[in-house]
Homo-oligomer: A and B are copies of this chain.
Amino acid sequence: VTPNDMLTRVDTLETPVPIVDLAVVEHNLAKMQGYADAHGLRLRPHIKTHKLPMFAQRQLALGAVGITCQKLGEAEVMADAGLDDILISFPLIGPIKAARLAALARRVAHLRVVADSVAGLDTVAQAAREAGRDIGVLIEFDSGNRRTGVTSVAEALELAEAARARGLRCDGLMTYPAGPEAAAFIAGVKAGAKAGGEFAIISAGGTPNAWRMHEIPGITEMRVGTYIYNDRTMVGFGGASLDECALHVHATVVSRPTATRGIIDAGSKTLSSDQLPPGLGVGYGLLLEYPDAIIERVNEEHGMLDLSACARRPEIGERVRIVPNHVCVVTNLHDEIVLARGGVVDAIVSVAARGRTR
């Protein structure tokens, strides 16, 4: 037992600082794995939220079948830590990506990449050839989000054919998030598929709608990331409660120029300038101690508080805890993150896969 006076309380740390409550993390991980297990869905967490090998390993220990990474650089960090079942959920295009993917394939036992074009398939095929390894492909389709992904069943089937022609294994379909068109699209592709083992994996992503994924016929795998920490957007969508938000940014009120205005030392460099989706609320984060305050504007280092609606108002030097709008971008802004239990620092860890834009 560590004597009490050796413990560092999180509320004594210099601000601004992102602090993760490990008990909440453990609750969130167990809850999602429980949901996946209850509905016979395979869980393949997206590491973009935590960017930490230790949490990826914890997710596997709880029952996850592997991980999802958005970028090669993230996958490389995870491979360095021994993760050996990885889906890269962003299209890779061109010879530089092919060479990196080949190097990754040599050391990751189970590697898959999404593609929504022939150019994407060519990149994966080149990497597989270079590495002398199998790399599975998931065809990405658009189920209503208007981002990447083919927009018709015919295109998906053509790409599966093109994959086959390139000696690639077409393992399935992938979409983000699981929008209204998902079920019909999946059924259409299944009906049109030729080979027996093709399209065995139907992968859908997104934490907000995670708890209803079992309602979409055909989905076999969930890619979810935000659920480990949750955030104000997730609470707004009803996918998490405020108590399930594991990451708080601790900040300090540094200025009170007028009766209704306050400034905190957390701006867009700490919270990002991500706003809430339309209809979910205003401001750049929720102040737990002053829920009626609005972070109405952020500059890089300044967060401007509108305190008009607050009965009680914070003084200069006072600390506040902020639930960010979008937690994935917050972890990407910080070199280190504090892990805590019961308000006491457990560890300060480097966010290993932070800043991996490539």
Chain A contact residues, CB within 8 Å of chain B: 14-17, 48, 70-71, 90-94, 96-97, 100, 116-117, 119-120, 142, 146-151, 252-258, 261, 263, 265, 268-270, 272-275, 299-302, 304, 316-317, 328-329, 332-335, 355, 357-358
Q: How far is the CA of A56 from the CA of B149 in the complex (A)?
A: 45
Q: A302-B148, A329-B269, A357-B269 are in contact. Are A257 and B17 (CB under 8 A)?
A: no
Q: Which residues of B contact A16 (CB under 8 A)?
A: 357-358
Oligomeric state, in number of copies? 2
Contact of A263 among B147, B269, B274 (CB under 8 A): B147
Give the Cβ gap from A27 to chain B, nearest Cβ, in Å: 25
Q: Are B255 and A91 in contact (CB under 8 A)?
A: yes
In the bound complex, do residue B14 and residue A96 qualify as a contact, i.e. CB atoms below 8 Å apart? yes
- Contacting residue for A119 out of B93, B301, B302, B316, CB 8 A: B316
- The distance in angstroms between the C-alpha atoms of A261 and B94, with both chains bound, is 20
Asked if B14 contacts A317 (CB within 8 A), the reply is no
Residue of B with least CB distance to A335:
B355
Q: How close is A182's CB to chain B, nearest CB, in angstroms?
A: 16
Would you call B355 and A301 a contact (CB within 8 A)? no
- By a CB distance below 8 angstroms, the chain B residues around A263 are 91, 147-148
Distance, CA A316 to CA B48, complexed state (A): 25
How many whole Å from A209's CB to the nearest CB in chain B? 16
Question: Cβ of B255 and Cβ of A148 under 8 Å apart?
Answer: yes
Minimal Cβ-Cβ distance residue in B for A155: B257
Q: In the assembled complex, which residues on chain B have CB atoms less than 8 Å from the CB atom of A299?
A: 147
Residues of chain B within 8 A (CB-CB) of A116 are: 255, 257
Interface centre among A94, A268, A270, A301 (most CB of B within 10 A): A301
Q: Report the minimum CB–CB distance from A269 to chain B (whole Å).
A: 6
CB distance from A133 to the nearest CB of B (A): 21
Given A71-B301, A150-B257, verify A357-B328 contact (CB < 8 Å).
no
**12 CB < 8 A contacts A-B:** A90-B254, A90-B301, A91-B263, A116-B257, A119-B317, A120-B254, A120-B316, A147-B302, A150-B257, A269-B355, A273-B274, A301-B357
